[in-house]
């Protein structure tokens, strides 16, 4: 099942997300595993995995949008 907001695969537990991340790395060892992490997404109430740098950029964008709005 996919997250309706981020369009990422949803996982029930952090352990499931971590295993999926490792399987992804196993299929393509060129993936920078050190730039990946698992995280809980409050809006869809599921675990995801992804690049830390992309996640940080999305958080910065959200903070910037919320700050700039009256």
23-31: list long-range contacts, CB under 8 Å, 24+ apart. Answer: 24/49
User: In this structure, are residues 11 and 48 in contact, taking their beta carbons and an 8 Å threshold?
Assistant: yes
The whole model's pTM is what? 0.66
Q: Which residues contact 29 (CB under 8 A, 6 or more apart)?
A: none
Residue 64 has pLDDT above 60, yes or no: yes
Q: How confident is the model at residue 63 (pLDDT cuts 50, 70, 90)?
A: low
Number of domains the chain is built from? 1
User: In this structure, are residues 10 and 1 in contact, taking their beta carbons and an 8 Å threshold?
Assistant: yes
Report percent pLDDT > 90 for the chain: 29
Has residue 36 been placed in a domain?
Answer: yes
Task: Give the pair of three-digit tokens for residue 58.
Answer: 């999305």
Q: Which of 6-10, 41-45, 53-57 has the lowest mean pLDDT?
A: 53-57
Has residue 7 been placed in a domain?
Answer: no
Has residue 26 been placed in a domain?
Answer: yes
Has residue 44 been placed in a domain?
Answer: yes
């Amino acid at each position: 099942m996919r997250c309706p907001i981020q369009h990422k695969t949803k996982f029930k537990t952090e352990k499931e997300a971590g295993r999926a991340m490792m399987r992804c790395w196993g299929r393509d060892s060129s993936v920078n595993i050190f730039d990946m992490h698992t995280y809980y997404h409050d809006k869809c109430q599921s675990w995801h995995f992804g690049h830390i740098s992309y996640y940080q950029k999305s958080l910065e964008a959200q903070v910037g949008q919320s700050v700039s709005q009256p």
